[in-house]
Structures are given as structure tokens and as C-alpha cells.
Amino acid sequence: MRNLAGLAAAALALGCLGLPLPAEAATQTVVTIQFDDGNADAYQALSMLSTHGMHATFYVNTGFIGDSTHMSWTQLQDLYTAGNELAGHTLTHQNIKKLKTADARYQVCQDRDNLISHGFQPESFAYPFGSFDSGSEAVVQACGYNSGRGVSGVNDTRVFAETIPPADPYALRTPPDPKQGTTVATIEGYVTAAEQHGGGWVQLTFHHVCSGCDAYSITGANFQALLDWLQPRAASGTVVQTTAQVIGGPFNPPVTP
Ligand SMILES: [Zn+2]
């Protein structure tokens, strides 16, 4: 009894002194803002990112660039000139897990070569539909990419963030893609969950910027609100970087499909 009482007294004393209780891992939290598919309406993110001093990663399908519903090559150049990352997402948004290797390789390598021939330095890739297996990973690596991103694997119950560096850079894990009904508070929760569980990498993947034009959309006002919330967190260590900044590594030369 005396020992227990003594322990309780010691714990109370420590608490009163404000000494740290069991150490928390002090890893930084890094947020990457990503846009998939090169949708025309996502171009309006550029000005909002710029006014917040942030850069995003845009994963585009070069087979669709310049058509009526996607961004133009000039708009991609605008994004790139402003410091955003241009990245690959296959030529025509194919589920490469279901393709024969030669066809998957064409979809991934030719898309990357198109980006390179337009003056970009694509280092990052995202799997359409988040669908991949070990064969898909091998294709993405062989085409010269430094990473491949899925659409799941981070949740608020067990895995609170991707690790830095990731365990498998060709199987990057993310929280659920924000949808039309996803609140800003829910998205912010993905970031604070990481901050509160040792830090790590939180990739926020968007598709459309509009009011209800697509199931996977965020309004301009909500995107603005998210950036307004994120910006001051840099002072306490939560920063926004592109995928390539987090992954690092060289820009690899183009590979013949
Ligand atoms: Zn996509």
C-alpha cells in the first residue's frame, strides 16, 4: 500500500511539474495535395495554391489533355511554371492490373514519355482506380517512375499516415479520397490524426473542383477553407510538399514503351 501511495504521489508530482509523460514520436507531418485525371475544373486550384504558397501534384492522363473536359497543355505548363508537380496516371486511365504486361507498359511508359516531350519531369505515378498488383508495380518502376500511389490503406483506426520513407514507394497508402459529401472537418481530421499519432505522410487526393459536378468533387470554397486551415500549421511543423519532394530520388530518362 505504501509503495502504491508513493507511486501515486510521484506521478502527481510529475504532473504538477509539467514534465513530459511517456515520449511521443516527434516525426513531422507532411501533407501532399493531389489532383487526379487532369480535369478542366481542377485548373482553378492553381490560383488558390499560389496565394497560399503551396504546390500540389497533378496526375494526368496525357491521352485526354486538350479535349473539352480536361486541361490543355498550356494549362499544365502554367501549373508547372508555378512550381506544381506534373505526374503520370496512364495514357487513357486504364486499369493496368487487368492489362497484359505489354499493354500496361505502353499505357504507363507512353504517358510518361508524352509528359517528358512537353518539357515536364514526371517522377510520380498514380494507379487509375487505385488498382495494382506486383506486376503493375514492376511496370511503373520500369517506366522510370519513383513512386506509385493507390487510393487506400490509411484509416483513422490503425494506420494514421504513410511512413516517410514509405515501406513500398510503389504502393503508397492514402486516406479515402474526399467525395462530394466529405466535409472540410473530415479532411482536416486526416491531418490531425497523423499529427496526433507520431506524424507521417498524408496524401489528400482530389478529382474535381466544382459544386456537385461529380461524386469526387470539392467546392472551390471548401478547397480554399482547407488551404486556409493548413497554411498556419507550417509554424508547428505540418508542411505541404509535392509527392516528388517527399519521395526524392532522381528524374529518370524516358523509357521506350
Ligand atoms: Zn484517376
Residue 208 belongs to a domain with what CATH number?
3.20.20.370
Cα–Cα dist 29/14, whole Å? 29
pLDDT tens for each residue of the chain, 257 residues long: 344 444 444 444 444 444 443 344 458 999 999 999 999 999 999 999 999 999 999 999 999 999 999 999 999 999 999 999 999 999 999 999 999 999 999 999 999 999 999 999 999 999 999 999 999 999 999 999 999 999 999 987 889 999 999 999 999 999 999 999 999 999 999 999 999 999 999 999 999 999 999 999 999 999 999 999 999 999 999 999 999 999 998 999 999 99
Residue whose grid cell is 508547372: 80
Calculate how far, in angstroms, residue 27's C-alpha sits from the geometric centre of ligand 1.
Answer: 30
Calculate how far, in angstroms, residue 36's C-alpha sits from the geometric centre of ligand 1.
Answer: 5
**Within-domain flag for 45:** yes
**Within-domain flag for 169:** yes
Length of the chain: 257
The parent domain of residue 67 ranges over 34-247
Calculate how far, in angstroms, residue 1's C-alpha sits from the geometric centre of ligand 1.
Answer: 63
With vertex at residue 222, the alpha carbon angle to CA 216 and CA 227, rounded to the nearest 5 degrees, is 110
**Within-domain flag for 41:** yes
Cα–Cα dist 76/89, whole Å? 14
**Within-domain flag for 9:** no
Calculate how far, in angstroms, residue 206's C-alpha sits from the geometric centre of ligand 1.
Answer: 10
**Within-domain flag for 120:** yes
Calculate how far, in angstroms, residue 61's C-alpha sits from the geometric centre of ligand 1.
Answer: 8
Per-residue pLDDT, 175: 95
**Within-domain flag for 256:** no
Q: Which of 31, 72, 70 is nearest to 54 (CA)?
A: 31
Cα–Cα dist 105/131, whole Å? 15
Per-residue pLDDT, 249: 87
Cα–Cα dist 201/119, whole Å? 28
User: Which cell goes with 92?
Assistant: 487513357
Per-residue pLDDT, 27: 83
Calculate how far, in angstroms, residue 39's C-alpha sits from the geometric centre of ligand 1.
Answer: 10
**Within-domain flag for 23:** no
Per-residue pLDDT, 58: 98
Burial of 50 per CB tally in 10 Å (0-12, 13-18, 19+):
middle
Calculate how far, in angstroms, residue 248's C-alpha sits from the geometric centre of ligand 1.
Answer: 23
Give per-residue burial for 68-104: e unless 16+ CB within 10 Å, then b: eebbeeebbeebbeeebbbbbbbbebbbbbebeeeeb
User: Left if phi > 0, otherwise alpha if psi is -120 to 50, otherwise beta: which for 198?
Assistant: left
Cα–Cα dist 246/150, whole Å? 16
Residue 55 contacts residue 240 (beta carbons within 8 Å)? yes
Per-residue pLDDT, 7: 44
**Within-domain flag for 17:** no
Burial of 172 per CB tally in 10 Å (0-12, 13-18, 19+):
buried
Per-residue pLDDT, 18: 43
Calculate how far, in angstroms, residue 54's C-alpha sits from the geometric centre of ligand 1.
Answer: 22
Calculate how far, in angstroms, residue 90's C-alpha sits from the geometric centre of ligand 1.
Answer: 9
- Per the structure, the count of domains in the chain is 1
